[in-house]
Amino acid sequence: MPLPVPALPEGVDPAWLPPDAFRAVGTRRTLIRGSGLLVDSAHAEVAEACARFGGRVVRDAGPGAPPYDLVLELRGTDGTEAFTYVREGGRTTVTASGQAGLLYGLFHVVRLGEDAFTGERPQEEHRPALALRMLDHWDNVAVHPVMGQVERGYAGGSLFWQDGRARGDLERVRAYGRLLAACGINAVAVNNVNVHDTEAHLLTDRIGEVAAIAGALRPYGIRTHLSVSFAAPMVLGGLPTADPLDASVRAWWAGATARVYEDIEDFGGYVVKADSEGQPGPFAYGRSHADGANLLAAALEPYGGTVHWRAFVYDHRQDWRDRTTDRARAAYDHFVPLDGEFASNAVLQVKHGPMDFQVREPVSPLIGAMPRTRLAVEVQASQEYTGQQRHVCWLGPMWSEVLRFRVDGETEVGSLARGGLVAVSNAGDDPFWTGHPLAQANLYTFGRLAWRPDADPDGVLDEWIRLTFGTGPATGLRAVLDGSWRTYEKYTAPLGVGFMVQPGHHYGPSVDGYEYSPWGTYHFADRDGVGVDRSAATGTGFAAQYAKPWCEVYESPDTCPDEQLLFFHHVSYDHVLHSGKTVIQHIYDTHFEGVEEVEEAREVWVSLAGVIDPARHARGVERYEEQLRSAREWRDQINSYFFRKSGVPDAQGRRIY
């Protein structure tokens, strides 16, 4: 008998899989052909829906069986994720040659609702564009004294770890796996990229706990990965070195990895943050990052595992007086010379922008510059710099812009992410999963864009709204989510300059918070102007890391897009943008507008009382109060700062402090 569909603990939000989403399937007669763990999961889904809505499900009926409305048929065992979908002669048929494909096909039918059972539809092939669609959880097992349990987590504690160990009751982890499968995610890394002492042990003596989590996620086609410390041979193995070319180090990793696969046969592999923000790495031994990555790739290779090696390597102890060092350049400068040196099961995981998940950054020039290396692109669903899941900031349009960016004028980022698309997860043990109930849209959208990077994000948003809320409040929800990223951009750091956040926790404004710090995140505002000169002619040369046409477009303030202007150029406050406004007037106008837009969104949300679930609504009301307070604080600090620096009054005479 298949395991039942995971039960949500009392009070936990069903997110995009409320019972009603299964009404169309649950009122039909379904035949399921095939066997295996994931087919069992599909069966359990349909069985539960039928029990609720009065339909029927049969497994493996022979010829002569009564007619069915829906047939889910597994025609092979090749492990692929594709499926075909056809509607003919009043019957809907999903076929797949791998179990995961069958499960994804069922969720496709669920998304279509009644449309899956009306009219005729010629055969369609559905296959994920990217083989790896992954969430990295920055979860600690032990609560970290500064970062708490989930680093940059805004949704409560960890879904996986509690009281210093893996949860005994993994029912909610099963439910999480189900939600992820329903939007197309197939891999999860279960611990923070900053691997602290307790978490280092997950690799060895505590692998059983990871295996338990892997067991809970497996029925929904999700493979488990682990963040490991590059110093593990020393920390765990007692060796005097972690030198990647040392024979004893290589043997240690081979042995440790073999034991991991004894416990977790389908283990996905390792995630490594090395020589980055104080984490150990190969530089200590005079070795390259390719040497480091290949060490772990070799250990994983016999089992089909992958190492995800992060490219987030830069000098975090920079001198702010030094104008020649540019953090934005770092990943490209470190990694491009290594192109072609990485093993085939080593994936270089690159943040989508050259800095660090700001509301607006150009696409990292590393993407496209390493044709002989498998790259994964990393985005951040967890809204570290975009409102921390207290502000509504739907990131679909931003991610879509990144994925559809043509690095050389032709090739899209989405097609270059051969190693997959990865997001820092925004989920935790919060009853709404993501703090703000509307932040669920980011998680869902990420999964759908990872499946199809060129998908229209607005269509994905509509889909999420329909599944999660039904059709009633759709217009209002679209209104508050659609432009929320641009709204957030308006009231925070202007024109791509980034940061201006409170140091440490990164919430709320502090214009000079990082200006004289070692982190390499400066805006250089003075009485005359603002921005970072990253041109090749007079600046740090970062613009020259791009292929044509972008190196030319970004090189000059005349051609640089307005929204990136201060990322690439230092300009005077009276510089006139393509929009026709001066920089200073743009700053004032956008900050007033941003707050007005939050006020309007809040009104819309308030007006939805009675149309959406009261608990969700109440949480949203509370969050909107905070967003509005915070947006006003941003507006007033940014506007006052630039008014005081520049002395230029607002053309509209509005109040600036």
Please tell me which residue in 45, 81, 243, 356 is annotated as part of the active site.
356
H or E stretch at 176: helix 171-183
CA of 57: how far to CAs of 63, 70, 101, 220, 479, in Å?
16, 9, 19, 19, 39
No. of H helices and E strands in the chain? 20, 20
State which of residues 151, 275, 326, 463 lies at the interface with ligand GCU (CB under 6 A).
151
Length of the chain: 657
CB of 328 to ligand GCU, least distance (A): 14
State which of residues 22, 312, 394, 464 lies at the interface with ligand GCU (CB under 6 A).
312
CB of 188 to ligand GCU, least distance (A): 17
CA of 38: how far to CAs of 180, 342, 550, in Å?
14, 33, 45
The backbone torsions φ and ψ at residue 387, rounded to the nearest 5 degrees and listed phi first, read 105, 0
Q: What is the 3-state secondary structure (H, E, C) of 592-618?
A: HHHHHHHHHHHHHHHHCECCECHHHHH
Count of residues engaged in binding ligand GCU, rule: CB under 6 A: 8
Note the helical H segments in 470-508.
474-482, 484-491
The encoded tokens of residue 110 equal: 């669920």
CB of 387 to ligand GCU, least distance (A): 15
Binding mask 30-59 for ligand GCU (x = CB under 6 A): ------------------------------
Q: Which is nearer to ligand GCU, 26 or 282 (CB)?
A: 282
Please tell me which residue in 277, 319, 408, 528 is annotated as part of the active site.
277
Q: Is 356 a catalytic residue?
A: yes
275 binding ligand GCU? (CB under 6 A): no
State which of residues 48, 209, 356, 489 lies at the interface with ligand GCU (CB under 6 A).
356
314 binding ligand GCU? (CB under 6 A): no
The backbone torsions φ and ψ at residue 635, rounded to the nearest 5 degrees and listed phi first, read -55, -50
State which of residues 24, 39, 49, 193 lies at the interface with ligand GCU (CB under 6 A).
193
Please tell me which residue in 13, 69, 136, 384 is annotated as part of the active site.
384
355 binding ligand GCU? (CB under 6 A): no
CB of 578 to ligand GCU, least distance (A): 32
Strands (E), 536-593: 571-572
The backbone torsions φ and ψ at residue 525, rounded to the nearest 5 degrees and listed phi first, read -70, 135
273 binding ligand GCU? (CB under 6 A): yes
State which of residues 149, 194, 400, 521 lies at the interface with ligand GCU (CB under 6 A).
194
Q: Which long-range contacts (CB under 8 A, 24 or more apart) does 467-473 make?
A: 467/16, 467/17, 467/18, 467/21, 467/110, 467/111, 468/15, 468/16, 468/18, 468/440, 469/612, 470/20, 472/611, 472/612, 473/608, 473/611, 473/612
The encoded tokens of residue 70 equal: 């829906």
CB of 273 to ligand GCU, least distance (A): 5
149 binding ligand GCU? (CB under 6 A): no
State which of residues 28, 43, 137, 152 lies at the interface with ligand GCU (CB under 6 A).
152
199 binding ligand GCU? (CB under 6 A): no
Binding mask 529-558 for ligand GCU (x = CB under 6 A): ------------------------------
Q: Which is nearer to ligand GCU, 141 or 583 (CB)?
A: 141
308 binding ligand GCU? (CB under 6 A): no
Q: Which is nearer to ligand GCU, 383 or 535 (CB)?
A: 383
Q: Which long-range contacts (CB under 8 A, 24 or more apart) does 200-206 make?
A: 200/228, 200/229, 200/232, 200/235, 200/236, 201/236, 202/141, 202/226, 203/228, 203/229, 203/232, 203/236, 203/256, 203/260, 204/232, 204/236, 204/256, 204/259
Binding interface with ligand GCU (CB under 6 A): 151-152, 193-194, 273, 312, 356, 384
Catalytic sites, residue numbers: 277, 356, 384
